[in-house]
Amino acid sequence: MKKKVFIIGSGFSSLSASCYLAKAGFDVTIFEKNKNYGGRARQFKENGFTFDMGPSWYWMPDVFERFFNDFGKKSADFYEAKKLDPAYRVIFSKKNQIKIGKNVENIVDSFEKIEKGSGKELRKFLNESKDNYDLAVSNMLYKMPGKSIFELINTKTIFKINLFISNIKNQINKKFKDPRLRSILQFPVLFLGAKPAETPAFYNFMNYADFGLGTWQPKNGFYDVVQAMIKIAKEHNVKFLNNSSIEEILVKNQRAIGLKTKKSFFKCDFILSGADYSHTEKLLQNKYRQYSDSYWSKKTWSPSSLLFYIGLDKKIVDLDHHNLFFDTDFEKHADEIYSNPKWPSSPLFYLNITSKTYKHTAPKNCENLFILIPISTNLKDSEFIREKYFNLVIQRIEDTIQENIKDHIVYKKSYCIKDFKSDYNSYGGNAYGLANTLKQTAFLRPKLKSKKVKNLYFSGQLTVPGPGVPPAIVSGKLVSDLIIKDEINI
Ligand SMILES: Cc1cc2nc3c(=O)[nH]c(=O)nc-3n(C[C@H](O)[C@H](O)[C@H](O)COP(=O)(O)OP(=O)(O)OC[C@H]3O[C@@H](n4cnc5c(N)ncnc54)[C@H](O)[C@@H]3O)c2cc1C
């Protein structure tokens, strides 16, 4: 008889694991507390506008391709994706903006125009960054379940030890002088959830992901990926239960025996949780938890976000698909997220408009705006505060594009800490999990396999490899490999 695996949550790591496990012959069921699947990557449609709720930067297309290839498919079998040109626009002020082109040649030219000699320096930097990408993504990522330090040490990484000790901010600052170029090169690191000064220089492979591999957009939004993965899962007979919040993981003699929802008890052989790790441990009796409250409270969390989903009844001329408003002090904002947590005095923010690339994601002659303000976790969240920041960012957008948008808003929804907590059981309302700092890398992250319950496993952005959609997909693969290996012994 097939061994039964229950998976808590339907985020990317859970979907990925469900496909690998079902393919390996397990009987897999996903329990999702929300009505819709996809976790932080859910999507909603309102008044003809389509909004992806979370991820919007489709980077590292090779990781997505590798997943589909493992099931004899390719992404194009499920969705169309376009490489964006420009990839994104960085706004330092109304008159001072830089567009990042779709290939290295264009970007080198843009750098050279800003700082003499920086084009050549960028090429050298990207060569190193590509080298690290090949090492990290092609060689290490899929072989590092985070069990021990020895996964990190090999004949190639040993020569790169300085890149683990030094930080990416220093490395960039040594090579580039212009503050705008420095900010652009530090931007990809923000996906890892920590300050560039606290992120090992080895993670400069994200710069190759950015400039070398480019920024892509699926035709109907990021949710195309969720739907593709659900399709593969269903083809392999994975069962999906929505509106099924797990209230308890039952354990007997150090073995998980089943899951409890409000109404029922379900028996199984293995449990994998793709829900926030800290929440999952709360579903266990105290003696089966590996990490204490104080462990979680001392961690460096990736930021939370204040999000706005806005429908406009007109087109905006002078903006692109991805726009970074870097028109205030980066250091001060980072300090207000990490070192001295409070609502930011003058935040940087990000504005996404998918209808710039795919018109059908908004009604005719309209635009769908998604605004993301990174903030610290655990801040006091209220309608009053949300409205204050809404007015602030709308004013900054209007000042930059010199157009009225306030009077053209026909749809508006906000999303913040309270929603992250209630929708996803997210620790402190974090948006993308535990940051990848030196002390929270690889074997130093919370483990994929419980040390206290024999057949209990974890995946997703709080464990290895870390935050972001590509790592979540890899996390699902790594944890399913462990379960497949353990099947014989359990
Ligand atoms: C605003 C935002 C923007 C982002 N932008 C990007 C981006 O541009 N590019 C990128 O690559 N990444 C981005 N990310 C990060 C990326 O979306 C996440 O890292 C990834 O989707 C997390 O996947 P996961 O598998 O960890 O699960 P999650 O998406 O966290 O899903 C966990 C699931 O578990 C469910 N759950 C929780 N508790 C229970 C329970 N008790 N019972 C049943 N179900 C439960 C939740 O409802 C949820 O569906 C962004 C994230 C956010 C929030």
Give the pLDDT of residue 143.
Answer: 87
Question: Could you tell me the domains of the chain?
Answer: 4-42+62-77+220-298+433-486 (3.50.50.60), 107-211 (1.10.405)
- Whether 160 shows a pLDDT value over 90: the answer reads no
Burial (CB count within 10 angstroms: exposed 0-12, middle 13-18, buried 19+), residue 33: buried
Q: Decide whether any atom of ligand 1 lies within 6 Å of the 311 Cβ.
A: no
Average pLDDT rounded to a whole number, residues 281-308: 97
Cα(432) to ligand 1 centroid in Å equals: 7
Give the pLDDT of residue 186.
Answer: 95
Q: Decide whether any atom of ligand 1 lies within 6 Å of the 6 Cβ.
A: no
Q: Decide whether any atom of ligand 1 lies within 6 Å of the 421 Cβ.
A: no
Cα(460) to ligand 1 centroid in Å equals: 8
pLDDT band at residue 57, thresholds of 50, 70 and 90?
A: very high
Cα(41) to ligand 1 centroid in Å equals: 6
The 3-class secondary structure across 133-155, one letter per residue, is HHHHHHHHHHHCCCCCHHHCCCC
For β-strands 27-31 and 4-8, DSSP reports them as parallel
Q: Percent of the chain at pLDDT above 70?
A: 99
| CA-based R_g, the chain, Å | 22
Closest residue by Cα to atom 35, ligand 1, is: 9
Pick the atom of ligand 1 nearest to 56's CA: 8
Give the pLDDT of residue 155.
Answer: 65
Average pLDDT rounded to a whole number, residues 74-87: 98
Closest residue by Cα to atom 18, ligand 1, is: 468
Q: Decide whether any atom of ligand 1 lies within 6 Å of the 466 Cβ.
A: no
For β-strands 367-375 and 304-312, DSSP reports them as antiparallel
Cα(203) to ligand 1 centroid in Å equals: 22
64 contacts: CB under 8 Å, gap ≥ 6 = 58, 75, 225, 470, 473
437 contacts: CB under 8 Å, gap ≥ 6 = 194, 198, 199, 200, 300
Cα(153) to ligand 1 centroid in Å equals: 30
Structure tokens at 51: 């909004």
pLDDT band at residue 490, thresholds of 50, 70 and 90?
A: low
pLDDT band at residue 332, thresholds of 50, 70 and 90?
A: very high
Q: Are 268 and 249 in contact (CB under 8 A)?
A: no
Residue 51's H or E segment, with its range, is strand 49-52
Give the pLDDT of residue 9.
Answer: 98
Q: Which residue matches tokens 């498919």? A: 73
- Whether 163 shows a pLDDT value over 90: the answer reads no
Give the pLDDT of residue 178.
Answer: 98
Cα(307) to ligand 1 centroid in Å equals: 15
Q: Are 256 and 6 in contact (CB under 8 A)?
A: no
139 or 386: which leads in pLDDT: 386
Closest residue by Cα to atom 7, ligand 1, is: 55
pTM above 0.95, yes or no: yes
Q: Decide whether any atom of ligand 1 lies within 6 Å of the 57 Cβ.
A: yes
d(CA 374, CA 392): 14
Between the CA of residue 140 and those of 133, 137, 144, 432, 438, what are the distances in Å?
10, 6, 6, 22, 16
Q: Are 462 and 433 in contact (CB under 8 A)?
A: yes
- Side-chain-side CA neighbours of 473 within 13 Å: the count stands at 21
Give the pLDDT of residue 476.
Answer: 98
d(CA 187, CA 189): 5
Cα(160) to ligand 1 centroid in Å equals: 32
pLDDT digits (tens, 9 = 90+) for 387-405: 999 999 999 999 999 999 9
Average pLDDT rounded to a whole number, residues 161-168: 81
Q: Decide whether any atom of ligand 1 lies within 6 Å of the 55 Cβ.
A: yes
Task: Please report how the helices 104-114 and 118-133 are oriented relative to each other, as an axis angle in degrees rounded to 10.
Answer: 140
pLDDT digits (tens, 9 = 90+) for 214-240: 999 999 999 999 999 999 999 999 999
Q: Which of 141, 469, 475, 477 to mutate to test the pocket of ligand 1 (most atoms within 8 A of CB)?
A: 469
Closest residue by Cα to atom 1, ligand 1, is: 54
Give the pLDDT of residue 159.
Answer: 66
Cα(416) to ligand 1 centroid in Å equals: 14
Q: Are 402 and 319 in contact (CB under 8 A)?
A: no
Average pLDDT rounded to a whole number, residues 304-312: 98
Cα(97) to ligand 1 centroid in Å equals: 32
Q: Please tell me the least confidently modeled range out of 111-125, 174-188, 280-294, 435-449.
A: 435-449
Cα(89) to ligand 1 centroid in Å equals: 26
**Taking CA 420 as the corner, what is the angle to CA 218 and CA 193, rounded to the nearest 5 degrees?**
70
Structure tokens at 244: 């099924």
Give the pLDDT of residue 148.
Answer: 78
Give the pLDDT of residue 149.
Answer: 77
Closest residue by Cα to atom 27, ligand 1, is: 11
DSSP result, 427-476: GGG-SS-B---GGGSGGGSPPSB-SSSTTEEE-STTSSS-SSHHHHHHHH
Q: Strand 239-241's sheet: what is its strand order? A: 239-241, 27-31, 4-8, 270-273, 456-458
Q: Decide whether any atom of ligand 1 lies within 6 Å of the 274 Cβ.
A: yes
Q: Decide whether any atom of ligand 1 lies within 6 Å of the 246 Cβ.
A: yes
Average pLDDT, the chain: 95
Cα(39) to ligand 1 centroid in Å equals: 5
Q: Decide whether any atom of ligand 1 lies within 6 Å of the 8 Cβ.
A: yes
Cα(5) to ligand 1 centroid in Å equals: 21
Pick the atom of ligand 1 nearest to 12's CA: 25
Task: Please report how the helices 168-175 and 118-133 are oriented relative to each other, as an axis angle in degrees rounded to 10.
Answer: 150
Structure tokens at 60: 């590292």
Burial 150-163 (b: 16+ CB within 10 A, else e): ebbeeeebeebeeb
Q: Which of 6, 10, 16, 40 to mutate to test the pocket of ligand 1 (most atoms within 8 A of CB)?
A: 40
